[in-house]
Amino acid sequence: MTSFTHELWIEAPSSARVREVPTPEPGADEVLLETQLSGISPGTETVVYRGEVPESVAPLMAAPHQLGDLPFPVSHGYLNVAVVRQGPAELVGKRVFTLTGHRAHAVVPTEACHVVPEHIPSERALLAGIAEVGLNAIWEAQTTLGDRVAVVGAGLVGLVTALLLSQVTPARLQVVDIDPTRRALAAELGLESVSPDDAAKDNDAVFHTSAAPAGLRRALEITGDDGAVVEMSWYGTREPAVPLGVDFHARRLRIIGAQVGQVAVPKRLRRSRAERLGASLYLLDSRFDALVTGRSSLEDLPSVFEDFARKADWTRSQLLHAVTYTPYQMQGAV
């Protein structure tokens, strides 16, 4: 008896399909996961869907448990909450977060599983992978009590980073965005939100997440002397203009590239990647629930990815989009 399951694969630029495949079998020190929910991180996953991952960095940008290789064919993604169906007795039946993609069933190393605390809903737990990005950037900037900080860009990564920064108790924290709707959401989360023109200057650190050259320019303008811009946007094959003229050198500004593939330099000797992800999961409080803004089924995912790629109207209100799975989706066949 062979059982089958379903996985999303990106097979060519802007072309995705849900494949029916044999259910994977776990080996030694591995577990079989049955997915409850996965999450679409629109920025990164749209770059992958369009085929805009530069060949030179494809190995560095691979998701931890992806199938295939970038650019194609590949089963990508890295936000997954599942129930352990096979593996060590202490894990079987437990909800776990892993950096797995859009697959109804997956096999991962046992050590890759992070048990979700009972008080954290599965949708909120999906955000652990995004919180890990924000936490790593905060570690890069070494932001601490009493700092003046700003986040430019109120998308998913920006709002998650801002919520984490609020736990550091800065003297001033502003979320900067051109979109009044995004600013309103930030305000509902208890964050001070302003337009680019109204953003306060003299910041110790500015976290740039907008993936727009104008956002990066404004981030540099509102950074204080000797301060740093932490660049969290991923541009793929695009080459944004970086304004390094005028007073960039005179004010001794710095741009720090933050990428989650490695633990931030200030913490690299003290924290492993697994410890960083575990810490991120426990930092998720109830405010993060508002960042899960929609749901679609795995079967509908090819059209959903296409809508995100062409920026269909309905996607403009989406932050984290959850993907649902039919329980016990394994199908038996002789």
Is a pLDDT exceeding 90 seen at residue 212? yes
Burial of 212: CB neighbours in 10 Å, binned 0-12, 13-18, 19+: middle
Q: Are 235 and 257 in contact (CB under 8 A)?
A: no
Strands (E), the chain: 2-12, 15-22, 30-40, 67-68, 74-75, 80-86, 95-98, 105-109, 114-115, 148-152, 172-176, 192-194, 203-208, 223-231, 254-257, 292-297, 320-324, 331-333
Please tell me the predicted confidence (pLDDT) of residue 204: 98
- Which of the residue ranges 42-56, 83-97, 136-150, 171-185 would you say has the lowest mean pLDDT? 42-56
Please tell me the predicted confidence (pLDDT) of residue 334: 29
C-alpha distances (whole Å) from 81 to each of 45, 103, 207 are 18, 11, 28
Is a pLDDT exceeding 50 seen at residue 311? yes
Q: Are 261 and 285 in contact (CB under 8 A)?
A: no
Q: How far apart are CA 159 and CA 182, in angstroms?
A: 9
Is a pLDDT exceeding 90 seen at residue 302? yes
Structural domains of the chain ordered from first start: 2-127+284-333 (3.90.180.10), 135-264 (3.40.50.720)
Residue corresponding to tokens 């430019």:
152
User: 330 pLDDT band (50/70/90 cuts)?
Assistant: very low
Sheet holding 192-194, edge to edge: 192-194, 172-176, 148-152, 203-208, 223-231, 254-257
pTM, two decimal places: 0.94
User: 333 pLDDT band (50/70/90 cuts)?
Assistant: very low
pLDDT in tens, 10-33: 999 999 999 999 999 999 999 999
| Vertex 106: Cα angle to 124 and 29 (nearest 5) | 105
Nearest CA among 203, 205, 157, 180 for reference residue 320: 157
- Bridge partners (DSSP) listed for residue 255: 229
C-alpha distances (whole Å) from 17 to each of 68, 167, 299, 306 are 14, 40, 9, 11
Q: How many residues does the chain have?
A: 334
Please tell me the predicted confidence (pLDDT) of residue 321: 97
Q: Are 9 and 17 in contact (CB under 8 A)?
A: yes
